[in-house]
A = this chain, B = another copy of it.
C-alpha cells in the first residue's frame, strides 16, 4: 500500500451544477490538485520532475465509479494513494468520502511518464516513485474495449483559450466536459453517471474544433472526441436516473 494523502473541502457554489451537484469535470480537477499536493509534500512536485528528470506525468485512463455526487456546501474529503507501478504504468486511486466516511466516488487513474522533449513514454524508475511507497506489481490494469459508434449524434466545440493549461495542452477535465455537454441539459438534469471509462488517445490541438459524438442505448452511452479526422478520446458511460431530492 502506498502513502495516502487527504484534502478536506466544502463544495463551493460555482462548482455546483443545476442539480446542485459537484460538476464532474471538477471532480477530475480537484483530484489532480490533491495528487499534486501530495507530490509537493513529498518533495517531488511536477516542477521537480521537470527540472530533475525532464519528465511530465500524463494520464492515459480513468475508471470512475459514482455512488452519488456531493452537493453544494457539503464537506468532502478527497483521498489519493499511489497503488502500484510496473515498467510503464503507475496506478493511482482517488476516493471522495462524505462526512459520514462513506466512499461516494472512486476513481482509478493510470499515469505514465513522458519525456518533455521526445514526447515519448519514459519507463517508470523505482527511484522516482519510491517516495509514494507504492508497490511494484507486474499486473496490468486494462480498460475495456471501446466499440465503434453506431448512429452517432455529434456536436462541434471550439477549443477555447481558457481550455488550455500553462503548457498549451487541453486540460484533462475538458474532455469530460465535452463528453457530458453533448448529452444536452434535459438528459443531464435527469441522469448522473454511475460508471465512466475514459481513455485519452491523442492530444487535442489548441485553436481548432473538436467533435463530441455519442450513441445512447438505454442507460449506456458510447463516446468519442475527435478532431482533424483522428480520435482524441473515448469513453463508455453507464448512467443512473436521478431520484428527486429535496
Contacts and interface: CB of A to CB of B under 8 A. Distances in A.
- For this chain, the copies found in one complex come to 2
Contact of A32 (B14, B20, B73, B162): B14
A17 B166 contact: yes
A166 B69 CA distance: 14
A51 interface: no
B166 A185 contact: no
Interface magnitude class on chain A: 35 or more
A72 interface: yes
A184 B162 CA distance: 10
A176 to B, nearest CB: 10
A12 B161 CA distance: 17
Contacts of A36: 12-13
Contacts of A221: none
Nearest to A15: B29
A228 interface: no
